[in-house]
Amino acid sequence: MDVMDNITRIDDLAKAGILPKEELVELLSSYSEGDRMYAAEKARETSLSVFGRKIFSRGLVEISNYCRNDCYYCGIRRSNTKAVRYRLSEDDIHYCCDWGYGAGFRTFVLQGGEDSFFTDDLLVKIIGRIKEKYSDCAVTISLGEKERASYQRLFDAGADRYLLRHETACEAHYSKLHPSSLTLANRKRCLYDLKEIGFQTGCGLMVGSPFQTRENLAEDLLFMKEFGPHMVGIGPFIPHSETPFRDCPAGSAEDSLFMVSLVRLMHPRVLLPATTALGTVRSDGREQGILAGANVVMPNISPLEARKNYLLYDNKIGTADDASESLAYVKAKIESIGYEMVPERGDYR
Ligand code: 5AD
């Protein structure tokens, strides 16, 4: 039998939405620049046929950088005593949404560390007020692992979506990135709970995280196929100087872009952001992400004080800009490649 070449693998993946694990590992291990371009072109055609040249935007509000967890890769991990901790007030958060609404955002993402200050009661109140004021907007929560009952309360308060990256679908790899208090089993439990409750649910991973193998990336693709996410966040790992992984190399833009394309081919309608991390490792990273199949951007609309300190990794872009500068910058980049940011909720269909 002929050995399958990568173009055939990409064609088969696009056609069937899946490949056997060995073929995925081989593709990820041996792809050339030409193969990557081919995958990007096919993924771009797919997103054009589903979304046209419309890019959905999400206004990202970084509500707190306090975190009870100690993930080895993350700059706001509990053990980083150098992090300058902050949390936004309710008024701050609503101010961000007011500004964001005027700027055309119809989705607000409340993201933060796992901060016990933001109790279910408080979040219910915040979500309720946003939904009451802006009934035409979606609210996305990205606040980590919680009990199912808590997720249910946030959903009942009106939250529409939840982002919780699985980080890696391999048990052994998961335990190299996290302390033993965090498990892949619980992460998956959270994801399945969220989906069952009715959230549009996002998973995702860092590309090039320490100890990650090509087999791990294949496992991520297979897990996502099984889970069926509505959203997928993919960006390169970038070291943070105050973490145990400070000396580890960043993931490559190319690998990240290739993964974006493969995810688009496997999940034609998935909401797939061109991430800030991608824009950090490569100045045209977000545009390249869109050209590789992404259809969402998440400009930061947090106050300057917050974004200066919400540092998951070093050299994060946009930390010195205000919200309108961030937005204008992202808009211009999108327009420069012939796409358009639209003032729509951009739900999964
Ligand atoms: N580099 C890139 N991405 C990171 N994240 C956390 N730390 C880093 C880092 N050093 C990602 C994780 C998390 C999301 C909010 O940010 O995947 O789920």
In single-letter form, the type of residue at position 251 comes to G
**Helix or strand (DSSP H, E) at 266:** helix 253-266
CA of 8 to the centre of ligand 1 (A): 33
Question: Which residues of the chain fall short of a pLDDT of 70?
Answer: 1-3
CA of 206 to the centre of ligand 1 (A): 7
Judged by DSSP in three states, 346 sits in coil
Atom of ligand 1 minimally distant from the CA of 239: 10
Q: Rounded CA gap, 291 and 41, in Å? A: 8
- Residue 1, pLDDT score: 46
Nearest CA to 210 among 244, 162, 186?
244
- 10 Å CB burial of residue 117 (0-12, 13-18, 19+) is exposed
- Measured from the Cβ of residue 95, the count of other Cβ atoms closer than 10 Å reads 15
Cα distances (angstroms) measured from residue 64 to each of 100, 117, 123, 254, 309: 18, 9, 12, 31, 9
The closest residue, in CA terms, to atom 6 on ligand 1 is: 74
- Residue 4, pLDDT score: 79
CA of 237 to the centre of ligand 1 (A): 7
- Residue 125, pLDDT score: 98
Q: State both tokens at 126.
A: 């915040």
Task: Please say whether the beta carbons of 28 and 217 come within 8 A.
Answer: yes
Q: Rounded CA gap, 184 and 192, in Å? A: 12
Backbone angles phi, psi at 340, to 5 degrees: -140, 130
| Residue 108, beta-bridge partner list | 59, 139
Pocket of ligand 1 (CB under 6 A): 73-74, 165, 167, 206, 235, 237-238, 240, 277, 312-313
CA of 253 to the centre of ligand 1 (A): 15
Nearest CA to 347 among 212, 201, 246, 216?
201
- Residue 201, pLDDT score: 98
With the most atoms of ligand 1 within 8 angstroms of its CB, the residue from 58, 178, 241, 313 to mutate is 313
Nearest CA to 268 among 106, 6, 42?
42
- Residue 191, pLDDT score: 99
